[in-house]
Amino acid sequence: MSQHFGEHLTIDGYGGDRELLNDKNLVLKILNELPKIFEMHLLADPLVVLAPDNGHKDPGSWSGFVIIAESHISIHTFPRRKFLSADIYSCKNEIDTKYIEKYFKEKFKPQDLETNFIKRGTRYPSENI
């Protein structure tokens, strides 16, 4: 495997359970639980806020974010569109993308997931410069 700084998994879920997507406490639980599962370290408590309807493509959503020593995790839910968007970015390599996909399917019950996996920092220096 080539040297790279980290890995970034993006998840877009379609046709999710509206009630689960509208559950602030579920978003908060995930932001606390997922880092523990992967032995990542919180640098601050997770934050979940309600983003109001902007009159355009965002009809209001829960947005959550947690900063971890290994980078960050964010989740945005759109209950009225049955949609979620999440980012898991970690400098830990070889993250278990299949587990994370299954985890989000169990938590929000989307009918379909669209995922993208990106290796970040593919030219990251192996030593201080």
Q: Rounded to an integer, what distance in angstroms lies between the CA atom of residue 15 and that of residue 13?
A: 7
Q: Predicted confidence band at 2 (pLDDT cuts at 50, 70, 90)?
A: low
> 121 is written with which tokens?
């920092």
Tens of pLDDT along 33-58? 999 999 999 999 999 999 888 777 77
Q: Indicate the pTM of the whole model.
A: 0.91
Domain ranges, residue 46: 6-94+106-120
Number of structural domains in the chain: 1
Residues annotated as catalytic (active site), given as ranges: 71, 76, 91
| Within a domain: 89 | yes
Q: Rounded to an integer, what distance in angstroms lies between the CA atom of residue 9 and that of residue 116?
A: 6
Q: What is the CATH number of the domain that holds 41?
A: 3.60.90.10
| Within a domain: 113 | yes
| Within a domain: 1 | no
